[in-house]
Structure 1
Amino acid sequence: MSDTVLALQGIAKTYNVGLPSQVEVLRGVDLSVDAGEIVALVAPSGAGKSTLLHIAGLLDTPDTGTVTLAGQNLTGQSDRRRTLARRADVGFIYQFHHLLPEFSALENIVLPQLSNGVTKGEARARGLMLLDKVGVAPRAHHRPAELSGGEQQRVAFCRALANGPRLLLADEPTGNLDPATSDQVFDTLMTLVRDTGLSALIATHNLELAARMDRTLRLDAGRLSTA
């Protein structure tokens, strides 16, 4: 089996913004992420990094090009097949935590597992294990509003890893935090990814954070280059 977890080839995406106006967001992007590799994606605002992450995570489809995830070419597959692949192999982290406010930290991690057929007992045990890894286990039964910004984002990390994905996609995962908290939370994320052997593609504006990853790619004017 290939050591490549994610492979994008010739990815192009154009949006209509009111005919005849069109915006070419991605122009023939090639990208690969190997098993256990952490790749930084650096891009100016509006360069298409979120679009690229959504295509990589099977939330959007390219106009042209192929998306191969965990050895499966998912280009042109049905919505159901893509959804199943995404649930099994991809975890997402965003700039904002997007935790469900009416549920506790632990419940936010348990729910995705229940959707994947895991028993409640197993889901709770994994949830507590992940919360312990990021230092938030004592706050397991607190709702998001009762947590600090850093704690909320750590819980979001745990939720992204709840179903044991092979690939983690993160879009400015510490961008909503103050600099000191951002550094601490990013340290937690890097440790969590390394300890679990995940592959990760992490979009960030922070060049210092990008330098701590295995390699850095730059997206600009719809094209990808090595930074």
Structure 2
Amino acid sequence: MSEAVLRLSGLEKVYNKGLQSEVAVLKGAELTLAPGEIVALVAPSGAGKSTLLHIAGLLDTPDAGEVEIGGVAMAGLGDRRRTIARRRDVGFVYQFHHLLPEFTALENIVLPQLAAGTSRRDAEARAHELLDQVGIAARADHRPSAMSGGEQQRVAFCRALANAPRLLLADEPTGNLDPETSDQVFRTLTDLVRGTGLAALIATHNLDLAARMDRIVRLEAGLVTAST
């Protein structure tokens, strides 16, 4: 059996710790993702799904518990090594594309690769390849404002996958799109994930999309449970 891409063990997270307004968001949450697996994360508003994604993606730290990516425990790593691991191993996609408006689609995909030490030539070749895979190669020189919402989100997917991460984390990636575009973008995303063999955890309120993933997990009362 392949080693888990992501393993979350006993995650706890409390906001306003020690105050009267203390809120325990995670209470021992656990989750494992295998290579090539697409998992839907479903949760009521305010249940902590964004917190879980941020901790899994090393953007936040838990009060207790462990995050392992590719079998490597992250808790003991210093800030620099965590940053390197996040840049190398994790890709993020959000509801809003967050593309840099002053740069073209190609440049938005090239920039994270340059930050990771890739040469400009190789970074541009990788960006062209990804744009071709998602069917918008002709948009390479367009800025975000000249693209549709679906095209913008496709560029965001390409940017997230630019450094060939092990893990993709997506927070409502189709939530800002109309139903038809949402379906098209979701198919693009799943094709990319299947083609690369990475693991994906996708938070969504769209139960129709969730049902098309490999499995559904729910975050309720601070715990991750399998969908029934």
* 2:44 maps to 1:48: no
> Is the CA contact (8 Å cut-off) linking 1:131 and 1:158 kept in structure 2?
yes
* 2:150 maps to 1:146: no
> Is the CA contact (8 Å cut-off) linking 1:43 and 1:220 kept in structure 2?
yes
Tell me the CA shift for residue 222 of structure 1.
1.2
Distance 1:210 1:183 in 2: 12
Q: Where does structure 1 lack aligned partners over 5 or more consecutive residues?
A: none
- TM-score, structure 2 length as denominator? 0.97
- The corresponding residue for 2:182 is 182
Tell me the CA shift for residue 19 of structure 1.
2.6
1:188-209, Cα deviation, whole Å (9 max, x unpaired) = 1011110111110110011111
Corresponding residue SS for 2:5: strand
Tell me the CA shift for residue 42 of structure 1.
0.4
- The corresponding residue for 1:191 is 191
* 2:22 maps to 1:7: no
Distance 1:188 1:164 in 2: 16
1:103-130, Cα deviation, whole Å (9 max, x unpaired) = 0000000001011111111100100000
Tell me the CA shift for residue 17 of structure 1.
7.8
Q: Which amino acid aligns with 1:209?
A: L
- The corresponding residue for 2:168 is 168
Tell me the CA shift for residue 76 of structure 1.
3.4
Tell me the CA shift for residue 18 of structure 1.
8.8
Q: Which amino acid aligns with 2:176?
A: N
Would the alpha carbon gap of residues 196 and 2 (structure 1) be closer, same or farther in structure 2, given more than 3 Å must change? closer
Q: Which amino acid aligns with 1:152?
A: Q
Q: Where does structure 2 lack aligned partners over 5 or more consecutive residues?
A: none
Tell me the CA shift for residue 81 of structure 1.
1.0
- The corresponding residue for 2:57 is 57
1:95-153, Cα deviation, whole Å (9 max, x unpaired) = 00000000000000000101111111110010000000001110100000000000000
Distance 2:21 2:50 in 1: 21
> Is the CA contact (8 Å cut-off) linking 1:93 and 1:169 kept in structure 2?
yes
- TM-score, structure 1 length as denominator? 0.98
Corresponding residue SS for 1:4: coil
Q: How many residues align?
A: 227
Matches within 5 A, 1:1-227: 2-16=2-16, 19-227=19-227
